[in-house]
Structure 1
Amino acid sequence: MIAFYVTHPQVAIDPEVPVPEWGLSEVGRARLKAIAGRDWVRSLSHVFSSTEKKTVEGAGILAGAANCGIEPVAEMGENDRSATGFLPPPEFEKAADWFFANPDQSFRGWERAVDAQARIVAAVEAAIASRPTGKQIALVGHGGVGTLLKCHLAGQPISRKGDQGGGGGGNVFAFRLSDRRLLCDWTPVENFEGKF
Structure 2
Amino acid sequence: MKTTKIIFLRHAETQKDPLVNAVLWGLSERGRAQAEEVSKQPIMSTVDMIYVSEEKKTAFTAEPIAKKFSKEVCASGFFNEVGRGDKFFSAEEFEAEKARQLTNLSYRAFGGESGLDALLRFKKGINEIVRKNPEKTILIVTHGTILNIYFADMLNFFEKLPERWSKTAFCAYGIIENGEVRKDIV
Q: Return the alpha-carbon distance in structure 1 between the equivalents of residues 162 and 21 of structure 2.
A: 28
Q: CA deviation at 1:157?
A: 3.7
Kindly report the root-mean-square deviation, in angstroms, between the aligned alpha carbons of the 2 structures: 1.9
| Equivalent-residue separation in structure 2 for 1:145 and 1:62 (angstroms) | 22
Q: Structure 1, unaligned stretches of length 5 or more? A: 188-196
Q: Deviations over 1:36-65 (max 9, x none)?
A: 233211110000000101011112222222
1:69 Cα deviation from its structure 2 partner: 1.7
The residue type equivalent to 1:101 in the other structure is T
Query: How much has 1:167 moved relative to structure 2?
Result: 7.1
Q: Specify every segment of 5 or more residues in structure 2 that has no aligned partner in the other structure, as ranges.
A: none
Report Cα offsets for 1:70-129 as digits up to 9, x if no partner: 11001211111116x111112111101100111123235221111111111111221222
8 Å Cα contact 1:150/1:162 also seen in 2 = no
- 1:155 paired with 2:156, answer yes
Q: Show the 5 A alignment for 1:171-186.
A: 171-176=172-177, 178=178, 180-186=179-185
Do the aligned residues in 2 keep the contact of 1:79 with 1:116 (CA within 8 Å)? Answer: yes
Q: Paired residue for 1:67?
A: 70
Alignment TM-score, normalising by the size of structure 1: 0.85
1:140 counterpart residue number: 141
Structure 1 vs Structure 2: percent identity of aligned residues?
Answer: 20
1:27 to 27, 30, 34: 30
Which amino acid counterpart does residue 156 of structure 2 have in structure 1?
Answer: G
Judged with a 3 Å threshold, the aligned counterparts in structure 2 of structure 1 residues 41 and 121 are, in CA distance, closer, same or farther, namely same
Partner of 2:105: 103
Size of the aligned set, in residue pairs, is 183
- The residue aligned with 1:118 is 120
- Distance in 2, matches of 1:135 and 1:111, equals 31
Q: Deviations over 1:11-32 (max 9, x none)?
A: 1110001110001111111112
Matched residue type, 2:147: G
Change (3 A) 1:87 1:144: same
Q: Quick one: which amino acid aligns to residue 60 of structure 1? A: E
Instruction: Tell me which protein shows more helix as a share of its residues.
Output: 2
